[in-house]
Amino acid sequence: MELRHLRGFMAVAEELHFARAAQRLHIEQSPLSRTIKELELEFGTQLFDRTSRGTRLTWPGEVLVKDTVRIFEAIEQARSNVQAAVAGYHGTLRIALSDGVLPQRLSALLARSREEEPEVEIRLYEVSLSQQLKGLREKVFDVGFARSNDVDRGVIATPVWQTPLTVALPVRHPLLALKLIPLIELSRYPVVLFDPKTHAGLSGQIERLFRKAQVDVSVAEHVSSQELMLSLVAAGYGVGLACKAQMALFQSSEVLTRPLAGDPPLLTSYLLYRESVPDGQLKRFIARVSERDTHQDGP
Protein backbone atom coordinates (compact mmCIF):
# COMPACT_ATOMS: atom_id res chain seq x y z
CA MET A 1 0.00 0.00 0.00
CA GLU A 2 1.36 3.41 -0.99
CA LEU A 3 0.24 6.94 -0.25
CA ARG A 4 -1.18 7.24 -3.78
CA HIS A 5 -3.61 4.45 -2.90
CA LEU A 6 -4.82 6.35 0.16
CA ARG A 7 -5.05 9.67 -1.72
CA GLY A 8 -7.15 8.01 -4.41
CA PHE A 9 -9.30 6.30 -1.79
CA MET A 10 -9.96 9.56 0.10
CA ALA A 11 -10.85 11.42 -3.09
CA VAL A 12 -13.50 8.80 -3.93
CA ALA A 13 -14.68 8.62 -0.30
CA GLU A 14 -15.25 12.38 -0.20
CA GLU A 15 -16.75 12.75 -3.68
CA LEU A 16 -18.62 9.40 -3.74
CA HIS A 17 -18.21 9.65 -7.49
CA PHE A 18 -15.30 8.12 -9.41
CA ALA A 19 -15.37 10.61 -12.30
CA ARG A 20 -15.38 13.65 -10.02
CA ALA A 21 -12.66 12.11 -7.83
CA ALA A 22 -10.48 11.46 -10.92
CA GLN A 23 -11.01 15.03 -12.10
CA ARG A 24 -10.04 16.33 -8.66
CA LEU A 25 -6.82 14.27 -8.78
CA HIS A 26 -6.13 15.33 -12.37
CA ILE A 27 -6.00 11.73 -13.62
CA GLU A 28 -8.15 9.51 -15.83
CA GLN A 29 -10.92 7.48 -14.23
CA SER A 30 -9.49 4.08 -15.26
CA PRO A 31 -6.19 4.39 -13.29
CA LEU A 32 -8.16 5.59 -10.28
CA SER A 33 -10.41 2.52 -10.52
CA ARG A 34 -7.30 0.33 -10.68
CA THR A 35 -5.88 2.07 -7.61
CA ILE A 36 -9.04 1.34 -5.60
CA LYS A 37 -9.08 -2.25 -6.87
CA GLU A 38 -5.46 -2.74 -5.74
CA LEU A 39 -6.36 -1.37 -2.30
CA GLU A 40 -9.38 -3.68 -2.03
CA LEU A 41 -7.24 -6.68 -3.03
CA GLU A 42 -4.69 -5.80 -0.37
CA PHE A 43 -7.34 -5.54 2.35
CA GLY A 44 -9.32 -8.45 1.01
CA THR A 45 -12.60 -6.56 1.18
CA GLN A 46 -14.77 -4.20 -0.83
CA LEU A 47 -14.41 -0.55 0.16
CA PHE A 48 -17.16 0.90 -2.04
CA ASP A 49 -20.55 -0.27 -3.24
CA ARG A 50 -21.10 0.91 -6.82
CA THR A 51 -24.66 0.62 -8.08
CA SER A 52 -26.83 2.33 -10.65
CA ARG A 53 -27.97 4.65 -7.87
CA GLY A 54 -24.44 5.82 -7.04
CA THR A 55 -21.36 5.03 -4.98
CA ARG A 56 -21.26 4.63 -1.22
CA LEU A 57 -18.74 3.48 1.35
CA THR A 58 -18.99 0.01 2.84
CA TRP A 59 -18.48 -0.39 6.57
CA PRO A 60 -14.78 -1.38 6.11
CA GLY A 61 -14.47 1.68 3.87
CA GLU A 62 -15.84 3.94 6.61
CA VAL A 63 -13.32 2.46 9.08
CA LEU A 64 -10.49 3.10 6.62
CA VAL A 65 -11.56 6.74 6.18
CA LYS A 66 -11.02 7.45 9.89
CA ASP A 67 -7.59 5.82 9.91
CA THR A 68 -6.57 7.51 6.66
CA VAL A 69 -7.45 10.94 8.07
CA ARG A 70 -5.13 10.27 11.01
CA ILE A 71 -2.38 9.08 8.66
CA PHE A 72 -2.49 12.29 6.61
CA GLU A 73 -2.65 14.40 9.78
CA ALA A 74 0.51 12.65 11.00
CA ILE A 75 2.20 13.25 7.64
CA GLU A 76 1.28 16.94 7.73
CA GLN A 77 2.54 17.16 11.31
CA ALA A 78 5.83 15.57 10.29
CA ARG A 79 6.18 18.05 7.43
CA SER A 80 5.49 20.98 9.76
CA ASN A 81 7.96 19.67 12.34
CA VAL A 82 10.72 19.39 9.76
CA GLN A 83 9.99 22.90 8.48
CA ALA A 84 10.15 24.18 12.08
CA ALA A 85 13.50 22.44 12.57
CA VAL A 86 14.83 24.00 9.37
CA ALA A 87 13.73 27.41 10.69
CA GLY A 88 15.77 26.83 13.84
CA TYR A 89 13.07 25.76 16.30
CA HIS A 90 13.75 22.91 18.73
CA GLY A 91 10.17 22.10 19.64
CA THR A 92 6.56 22.88 18.77
CA LEU A 93 3.56 23.68 20.95
CA ARG A 94 0.16 23.26 19.29
CA ILE A 95 -2.54 25.32 21.00
CA ALA A 96 -6.25 25.02 20.17
CA LEU A 97 -8.54 28.00 20.76
CA SER A 98 -12.33 27.71 21.12
CA ASP A 99 -15.13 30.11 22.05
CA GLY A 100 -12.97 33.22 21.77
CA VAL A 101 -10.35 33.49 24.51
CA LEU A 102 -9.46 36.73 26.27
CA PRO A 103 -7.18 38.56 23.82
CA GLN A 104 -5.28 40.54 26.45
CA ARG A 105 -4.49 37.47 28.54
CA LEU A 106 -3.56 35.34 25.52
CA SER A 107 -1.27 37.96 23.98
CA ALA A 108 0.56 38.46 27.29
CA LEU A 109 0.96 34.69 27.69
CA LEU A 110 2.30 34.21 24.16
CA ALA A 111 4.73 37.11 24.54
CA ARG A 112 6.09 35.65 27.78
CA SER A 113 6.34 32.17 26.26
CA ARG A 114 8.32 33.48 23.29
CA GLU A 115 10.60 35.45 25.60
CA GLU A 116 11.30 32.52 27.93
CA GLU A 117 11.53 29.80 25.26
CA PRO A 118 12.25 31.43 21.89
CA GLU A 119 13.40 28.08 20.48
CA VAL A 120 9.85 26.65 20.81
CA GLU A 121 7.52 27.29 17.88
CA ILE A 122 3.93 28.09 18.90
CA ARG A 123 1.08 27.25 16.52
CA LEU A 124 -2.48 28.40 17.12
CA TYR A 125 -5.60 26.68 15.78
CA GLU A 126 -9.08 28.23 16.01
CA VAL A 127 -11.51 25.30 16.21
CA SER A 128 -14.86 24.36 17.72
CA LEU A 129 -14.96 22.80 21.17
CA SER A 130 -15.75 19.36 19.75
CA GLN A 131 -12.80 19.62 17.35
CA GLN A 132 -10.53 20.69 20.20
CA LEU A 133 -11.53 17.72 22.36
CA LYS A 134 -11.07 15.34 19.43
CA GLY A 135 -7.68 16.89 18.68
CA LEU A 136 -6.55 16.55 22.30
CA ARG A 137 -7.63 12.91 22.38
CA GLU A 138 -5.79 12.13 19.17
CA LYS A 139 -2.74 14.26 20.12
CA VAL A 140 -3.25 16.65 17.22
CA PHE A 141 -3.17 19.48 19.82
CA ASP A 142 -1.00 19.68 22.92
CA VAL A 143 -3.14 22.07 24.92
CA GLY A 144 -6.16 24.33 24.42
CA PHE A 145 -8.31 27.13 25.78
CA ALA A 146 -12.11 27.04 25.88
CA ARG A 147 -15.08 28.40 27.80
CA SER A 148 -16.28 24.96 28.89
CA ASN A 149 -15.20 22.40 31.47
CA ASP A 150 -17.48 19.74 29.98
CA VAL A 151 -14.61 17.65 28.66
CA ASP A 152 -13.84 14.08 27.73
CA ARG A 153 -12.47 11.45 30.05
CA GLY A 154 -8.71 11.81 30.22
CA VAL A 155 -8.82 15.57 29.63
CA ILE A 156 -8.36 18.10 32.44
CA ALA A 157 -10.10 21.51 32.39
CA THR A 158 -8.52 24.04 34.74
CA PRO A 159 -10.15 27.48 35.24
CA VAL A 160 -7.56 30.14 34.48
CA TRP A 161 -9.14 33.45 33.48
CA GLN A 162 -12.37 35.24 34.37
CA THR A 163 -14.00 38.39 33.06
CA PRO A 164 -17.35 40.07 33.83
CA LEU A 165 -20.21 39.80 31.39
CA THR A 166 -21.43 43.11 30.00
CA VAL A 167 -24.40 44.32 27.94
CA ALA A 168 -23.92 45.82 24.47
CA LEU A 169 -26.60 48.33 23.44
CA PRO A 170 -27.31 50.42 20.36
CA VAL A 171 -27.23 54.18 20.88
CA ARG A 172 -30.52 55.71 22.03
CA HIS A 173 -31.66 52.39 23.52
CA PRO A 174 -34.01 52.79 26.54
CA LEU A 175 -31.76 50.65 28.76
CA LEU A 176 -28.98 53.23 28.47
CA ALA A 177 -30.93 55.27 31.03
CA LEU A 178 -29.84 52.68 33.64
CA LYS A 179 -26.31 52.61 35.07
CA LEU A 180 -26.73 48.93 36.00
CA ILE A 181 -29.03 46.64 34.03
CA PRO A 182 -31.00 43.91 35.87
CA LEU A 183 -31.44 40.69 33.89
CA ILE A 184 -35.21 41.00 34.17
CA GLU A 185 -35.04 44.36 32.37
CA LEU A 186 -32.72 42.91 29.73
CA SER A 187 -35.20 40.12 29.04
CA ARG A 188 -37.79 42.65 27.85
CA TYR A 189 -35.81 43.05 24.62
CA PRO A 190 -34.61 40.61 21.94
CA VAL A 191 -31.07 39.38 22.58
CA VAL A 192 -28.29 38.54 20.10
CA LEU A 193 -26.44 35.48 21.41
CA PHE A 194 -23.48 33.38 20.30
CA ASP A 195 -24.31 30.25 18.35
CA PRO A 196 -23.97 27.06 20.47
CA LYS A 197 -22.50 25.28 17.43
CA THR A 198 -19.50 27.60 17.23
CA HIS A 199 -19.32 28.86 20.85
CA ALA A 200 -20.53 25.88 22.89
CA GLY A 201 -18.84 26.86 26.14
CA LEU A 202 -19.63 30.57 26.00
CA SER A 203 -23.23 29.90 25.00
CA GLY A 204 -23.59 27.37 27.80
CA GLN A 205 -22.32 29.77 30.47
CA ILE A 206 -24.76 32.49 29.37
CA GLU A 207 -27.67 30.04 29.23
CA ARG A 208 -26.88 28.86 32.78
CA LEU A 209 -26.93 32.48 33.92
CA PHE A 210 -30.45 32.92 32.53
CA ARG A 211 -31.64 29.66 34.11
CA LYS A 212 -30.18 30.55 37.50
CA ALA A 213 -31.96 33.92 37.41
CA GLN A 214 -35.15 32.21 36.12
CA VAL A 215 -35.24 34.63 33.20
CA ASP A 216 -36.56 33.79 29.74
CA VAL A 217 -35.19 35.75 26.80
CA SER A 218 -36.25 36.16 23.19
CA VAL A 219 -33.32 35.36 20.88
CA ALA A 220 -33.14 37.75 17.93
CA GLU A 221 -30.21 35.94 16.23
CA HIS A 222 -27.46 33.44 16.93
CA VAL A 223 -24.07 34.62 15.63
CA SER A 224 -20.66 33.02 15.15
CA SER A 225 -18.49 36.07 15.89
CA GLN A 226 -18.42 39.11 18.13
CA GLU A 227 -18.08 41.35 15.07
CA LEU A 228 -21.40 40.12 13.68
CA MET A 229 -23.08 40.38 17.07
CA LEU A 230 -22.04 44.02 17.43
CA SER A 231 -23.10 44.79 13.86
CA LEU A 232 -26.58 43.43 14.60
CA VAL A 233 -26.73 45.32 17.89
CA ALA A 234 -25.76 48.55 16.13
CA ALA A 235 -28.47 47.87 13.52
CA GLY A 236 -31.09 47.51 16.25
CA TYR A 237 -31.76 43.77 15.97
CA GLY A 238 -31.42 43.40 19.72
CA VAL A 239 -29.11 43.82 22.70
CA GLY A 240 -25.95 41.76 23.05
CA LEU A 241 -23.99 40.01 25.77
CA ALA A 242 -20.20 39.82 25.64
CA CYS A 243 -17.24 39.66 27.99
CA LYS A 244 -15.95 42.97 29.28
CA ALA A 245 -12.33 42.26 28.26
CA GLN A 246 -13.27 41.73 24.61
CA MET A 247 -15.57 44.76 24.55
CA ALA A 248 -12.68 46.88 25.87
CA LEU A 249 -10.97 46.37 22.51
CA PHE A 250 -14.03 47.49 20.56
CA GLN A 251 -14.53 51.17 19.84
CA SER A 252 -17.70 52.38 18.19
CA SER A 253 -20.00 55.34 18.40
CA GLU A 254 -22.92 53.03 17.51
CA VAL A 255 -22.63 50.52 20.38
CA LEU A 256 -22.35 51.34 24.09
CA THR A 257 -21.98 49.03 27.09
CA ARG A 258 -23.51 48.79 30.52
CA PRO A 259 -22.69 46.37 33.37
CA LEU A 260 -25.28 43.97 34.71
CA ALA A 261 -26.81 44.70 38.12
CA GLY A 262 -25.82 42.75 41.22
CA ASP A 263 -22.70 40.65 41.52
CA PRO A 264 -21.20 40.80 38.02
CA PRO A 265 -21.57 37.38 36.35
CA LEU A 266 -18.12 36.09 35.43
CA LEU A 267 -17.31 34.21 32.24
CA THR A 268 -14.62 31.61 32.85
CA SER A 269 -11.91 30.47 30.43
CA TYR A 270 -10.42 27.01 30.94
CA LEU A 271 -7.06 25.49 30.08
CA LEU A 272 -7.55 22.03 28.55
CA TYR A 273 -4.89 19.33 28.39
CA ARG A 274 -4.50 15.56 28.63
CA GLU A 275 -4.09 14.00 32.09
CA SER A 276 -0.63 12.65 31.29
CA VAL A 277 1.66 15.64 30.70
CA PRO A 278 5.30 14.81 29.91
CA ASP A 279 8.15 16.86 31.33
CA GLY A 280 9.34 19.56 28.97
CA GLN A 281 7.91 22.52 27.11
CA LEU A 282 4.25 21.52 27.55
CA LYS A 283 4.57 21.16 31.31
CA ARG A 284 6.35 24.51 31.53
CA PHE A 285 3.63 26.17 29.44
CA ILE A 286 0.87 24.80 31.69
CA ALA A 287 2.75 26.02 34.76
CA ARG A 288 3.15 29.44 33.12
CA VAL A 289 -0.62 29.71 32.59
CA SER A 290 -1.49 28.33 36.02
CA GLU A 291 0.68 30.85 37.84
CA ARG A 292 -2.23 33.28 37.45
CA ASP A 293 -4.97 30.76 38.05
CA THR A 294 -8.49 32.23 37.86
CA HIS A 295 -7.19 35.74 37.26
CA GLN A 296 -10.05 38.19 36.84
CA ASP A 297 -9.99 40.97 34.27
CA GLY A 298 -11.80 44.09 35.31
CA PRO A 299 -13.63 44.91 38.54
DSSP secondary structure code for residue 136 in this structure: H
Does the structure show a pLDDT above 60 at 96? yes
- Identify the pLDDT of residue 86: 65
* Torsion angles phi and psi, residue 162, rounded to 5: -135, 150
Digit-coded pLDDT (tens) for 171-201: 989 999 999 999 999 999 999 999 998 888 8
- Mean pLDDT computed over 6-21: 90
Domains of the chain, start order: 3-81 (1.10.10.10), 91-299 (3.40.190.290)
Give mean pLDDT, residues 205-222: 90
Residue 277 — pLDDT band, cuts 50, 70, 90? confident
How would residue 87 be classed by pLDDT, with cut points 50, 70 and 90?
A: low
High-pLDDT (> 70) share of the chain, %: 93
Q: Which residues contact 263 (CB under 8 A, 6 or more apart)?
A: none
Please give the pLDDT value at position 231: 92
Question: What are the CA-CA distances from residue 61 to residues 6, 12, 93 (Å)?
Answer: 11, 11, 33
Cβ-defined contacts of 71-79 (< 8 Å, 24+): 71/6, 72/6, 72/10, 73/138, 73/140, 75/3, 77/140
Tell me, yes or no, if the pTM score tops 0.85.
no
**What mean pLDDT is reported for the chain?**
86
Tell me the one-letter amino acid at 3: L
- For residue range 119-161, list pLDDT tens digits in order: 888 889 988 898 999 999 888 899 999 999 988 889 999 999 8
Q: Residue 88: what pLDDT?
A: 55
